[in-house]
């Protein structure tokens, strides 16, 4: 079979080259259930024919919303795309108001949801979405048709009508509308063609150090282009795809599946590392000394190697300490693709030292998504960078430091918003990312900050908060931090402590507490976190340093509205949530500036 050009070509490519019995694997009621490549395609055909019987036409928009990654998502994706319809994957965690906006903006005709909670959410707005005809659910839900009804509709007859439509679909046609959750503002529908995503999957293949013998574990949301593109890449390379049950069960699922590859966001890797460090802190005697000796050795890791003595020590550390880290990830991991936000270089260093191949990359929904990514082959890794740009993806640094991108992966534009499209894609076809960066050694891209997040103090000094936040999160006491101070005399910060670590520290220090609200008011806790702030402040210029901070009693989360689904800070939400803390720092609320 020739190279896949349209997204629905990928499963067929796998069938022709790497047919698998475990192409897609999902856990239902405690048991892993495998779907073969052939069955995946057969069910895709059935769904396509069922949708045609329901009156779906090329260009119709169909929403998919799932609380967890599962095989049904892929079958819907295949069945929708190969009849020329456009799928609209939506985050399960957004509000009903956002659902209403997206469904009306996209003019969604049918919707597939995973469970009762999501059915209830969408059903609440069905009367306010004139185009929405019906909702189907993957789970059995009272009052909602099961998705298998669509499959049954399409069980009979041949595939000739589907094949006829497939033949009319071009690689430059619109495939999907992905509404960016963003950190602020109304969602924007990013129009991605088959070529946008397919070219990205194919160009990413040389960076993936596994083949058709591998197992992949997926847990980042499939509605996010990062995870979704990798699904097509796994089809393309013949990698078996296992879906984790949830974010809470990742550890157990890793031990069960023993994946060779998985994707992660930096916040997740930070949490993994924090748990490892907490276990190390609980050790005693020689075991504890060995643990921290290995970690400190890891912090000194250099990709180009060090002296023979360092290598000798590292081999010992890997056998005695780091091998247990590998076991916690299933024992067979060859690649962890990290994206969506900047990865702390210190964290990358220690994981690489441990023999865990972290491949940091960079991209946006608008670039389908990968622009650049590190890889272990061909001297392809530089710690602190996001690696070399992919083949056929051009990167240019503008005069003000902004990263500009051009290539087959750059979106068609924002749906119904030519005005917004013109703001980000210039006359020469360069997409303006809004990120600031530089090229290292002439070929490795380094991200330094978000252009929109850089702010000025009242003294006219620029502050790049993301770099500072990454540094401060190295502290075991700090789970999340947001640097503030736009237009103010000096920077400050809202700090969300790592309450698990903080509570264990309080117990060791005999500091009593009954709640998070109580613990953050204890002067001994405040003084201890001040020490952490002082340590990390030393890495920054005097004008950048955090002069004051306030501890928040809440654990920032997606559901709480402080984090996006990919765990980035929703700065506007966090700022508006703590006007009193802001006033304690600056003497006025943000609105009174």
In sequence order, the 6+-apart residues with CB closer than 8 A to the CB of 306 are: 300
Query: Residue 593: its pLDDT value, please?
Result: 59
Q: Are 374 and 187 contacting, i.e. CB atoms less than 8 angstroms apart?
A: no
Q: Tokens 């967890």 belong to which residue?
A: 68
Burial of residue 418 (CB within 10 Å: 0-12, 13-18, 19+) is: exposed
Query: Residue 437: its pLDDT value, please?
Result: 93
User: Measured between alpha carbons, how far is 11 from 234 in angstroms, rounded to an integer?
Assistant: 10
Instruction: Report the run of H or E that residue 174 belongs to, with start and end.
Output: strand 174-180
Query: Residue 89: its pLDDT value, please?
Result: 97
User: Measured between alpha carbons, how far is 157 from 415 in angstroms, rounded to an integer?
Assistant: 36
Average pLDDT for 190-212: 97
Give the pLDDT confidence of 130-168 residue by residue, as tens digits.
Answer: 999 999 999 999 999 999 999 999 998 899 999 999 999
- Displacement of CA 577 from its chain's centroid (Å): 24
Q: Is the pLDDT of residue 232 over 80?
A: yes
What SS3 state is found at 237? helix
Q: Are 216 and 260 contacting, i.e. CB atoms less than 8 angstroms apart?
A: yes
Q: Are 298 and 317 contacting, i.e. CB atoms less than 8 angstroms apart?
A: yes
What is the average pLDDT value for the chain, to the nearest integer? Answer: 93
Give the pLDDT confidence of 318-340 residue by residue, as tens digits.
Answer: 999 999 999 999 999 999 999 87
Give the residue ranges of DSSP H helices in 282-413: 285-299, 308-317, 323-328, 345-353
User: Measured between alpha carbons, how far is 88 from 90 in angstroms, rounded to an integer?
Assistant: 6
215 upstream amide cis, omega within 30 of 0: no
Q: Tokens 């009621």 belong to which residue?
A: 29
Query: Residue 342: its pLDDT value, please?
Result: 78
| Sign of torsion over alpha carbons 66, 69, 72, 73 | positive
Confidence of residue 112 (pLDDT cuts 50, 70, 90): very high
Query: Residue 94: its pLDDT value, please?
Result: 82
Give the pLDDT confidence of 538-566 residue by residue, as tens digits.
Answer: 888 888 899 999 999 999 998 898 988 77
| Percent of the chain whose pLDDT exceeds 70 | 99
* Chain length of the chain: 593
| Sign of torsion over alpha carbons 371, 90, 59, 7 | positive
Closest CA to 271 of 493, 90, 501: 501
- Displacement of CA 27 from its chain's centroid (Å): 22
Q: Is the pLDDT of residue 183 over 50?
A: no
More confident residue, 90 or 265: 90
Give the pLDDT confidence of 428-485 residue by residue, as tens digits.
Answer: 999 999 888 999 999 999 998 777 788 878 777 778 888 899 889 989 999 999 999 9
User: Measured between alpha carbons, how far is 558 from 274 in angstroms, rounded to an integer?
Assistant: 20
Query: Residue 226: its pLDDT value, please?
Result: 93
Instruction: Report the run of H or E that residue 201 belongs to, with start and end.
Output: helix 194-204
Give the pLDDT confidence of 31-58 residue by residue, as tens digits.
Answer: 999 999 999 999 999 999 999 999 999 9
Q: Tokens 């220690």 belong to which residue?
A: 350
Give the pLDDT confidence of 287-317 residue by residue, as tens digits.
Answer: 999 999 999 999 999 988 778 999 999 999 9
User: Measured between alpha carbons, how far is 155 from 508 in angstroms, rounded to an integer?
Assistant: 64
User: Measured between alpha carbons, how far is 305 from 503 in angstroms, rounded to an integer?
Assistant: 39
Structure tokens at 47: 């769904």
More confident residue, 417 or 565: 417
Q: Is the pLDDT of residue 69 over 60?
A: yes
In sequence order, the 6+-apart residues with CB closer than 8 A to the CB of 178 are: 88, 89, 189, 190, 192, 223, 225, 365
Query: Residue 353: its pLDDT value, please?
Result: 96
Structure tokens at 415: 């749906």
């Amino acid at each position: 079979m020739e190279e896949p050009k349209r997204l629905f070509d990928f499963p067929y490519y796998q069938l022709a080259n790497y047919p698998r019995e475990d192409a897609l694997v999902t856990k239902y009621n405690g048991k892993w259930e495998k779907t073969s490549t052939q069955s995946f395609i057969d069910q895709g055909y059935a769904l396509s024919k069922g949708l045609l019987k329901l009156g779906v036409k090329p260009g119709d928009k169909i929403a998919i919303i799932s609380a967890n990654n599962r095989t049904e998502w892929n079958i819907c994706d295949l069945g929708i795309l190969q009849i020329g319809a456009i799928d609209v994957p939506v985050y399960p965690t957004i509000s009903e108001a956002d659902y209403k906006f997206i469904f009306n903006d996209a003019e969604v005709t049918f919707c597939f949801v995973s469970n009762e909670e999501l059915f209830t959410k969408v059903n609440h707005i069905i009367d306010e979405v004139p185009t929405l005809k019906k909702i189907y659910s993957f789970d059995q839900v009272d009052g909602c048709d099961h998705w298998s009804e669509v499959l049954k509709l399409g069980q009979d007859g041949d595939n000739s009508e589907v094949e006829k439509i497939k033949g009319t679909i071009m690689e430059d046609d619109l495939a999907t509308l992905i509404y960016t959750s963003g950190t602020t503002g109304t969602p924007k529908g990013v129009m991605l063609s088959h070529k946008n995503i397919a070219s990205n999957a194919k160009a990413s293949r040389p960076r993936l150090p596994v083949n058709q013998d591998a197992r992949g574990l997926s847990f980042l949301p499939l509605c996010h282009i990062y995870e979704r593109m990798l699904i097509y890449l796994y089809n393309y390379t013949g990698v078996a795809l296992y879906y984790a049950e949830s974010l809470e069960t990742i550890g157990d699922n890793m031990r069960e599946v023993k994946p060779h590859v998985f994707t992660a966001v930096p916040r997740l890797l930070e949490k993994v590392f924090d748990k490892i460090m907490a276990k190390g802190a609980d050790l005693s005697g020689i075991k504890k000394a060995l643990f921290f000796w290995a970690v400190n050795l890891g912090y000194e890791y250099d990709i180009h190697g060090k002296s023979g003595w360092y290598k000798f020590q590292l081999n010992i550390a890997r056998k005695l300490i780091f091998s247990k880290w590998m076991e916690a990830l299933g024992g067979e991991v060859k690649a962890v693709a990290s994206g969506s936000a900047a990865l702390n270089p210190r964290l990358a260093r220690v994981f690489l030292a441990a023999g865990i191949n972290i491949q940091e990359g960079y991209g946006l929904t608008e670039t389908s998504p990968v622009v650049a990514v590190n890889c272990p082959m061909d001297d392809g890794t530089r710690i602190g960078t996001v690696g070399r740009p992919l083949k056929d993806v051009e990167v240019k640094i503008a005069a003000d430091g902004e990263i500009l991108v051009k290539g087959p992966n750059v979106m068609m534009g924002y749906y119904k918003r030519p005005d917004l499209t013109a703001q980000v894609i210039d006359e020469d076809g360069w997409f303006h990312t809004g990120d600031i960066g530089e090229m290292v050694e002439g070929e490795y891209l380094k991200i330094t900050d978000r252009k929109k997040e850089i702010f000025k103090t009242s003294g006219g000094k620029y502050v790049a908060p993301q770099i500072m936040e990454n540094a401060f999160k190295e502290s075991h006491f700090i789970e999340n931090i947001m640097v503030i101070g736009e237009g103010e005399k000096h920077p400050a910060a809202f700090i969300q402590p790592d309450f698990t670590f903080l509570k264990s520290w309080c117990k060791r220090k005999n500091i009593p507490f009954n709640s998070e609200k109580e613990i953050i008011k204890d002067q001994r806790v405040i003084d201890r976190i001040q020490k952490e702030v002082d340590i990390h402040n030393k890495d920054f210029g005097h004008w950048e340093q955090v002069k004051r901070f306030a501890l928040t009693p809440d654990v920032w989360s997606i559901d709480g509205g402080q984090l996006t689904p990919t765990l980035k800070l929703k700065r506007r939400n966090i700022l508006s949530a703590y006007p009193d803390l802001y006033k304690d720092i600056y003497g006025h609320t943000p609105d009174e500036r």
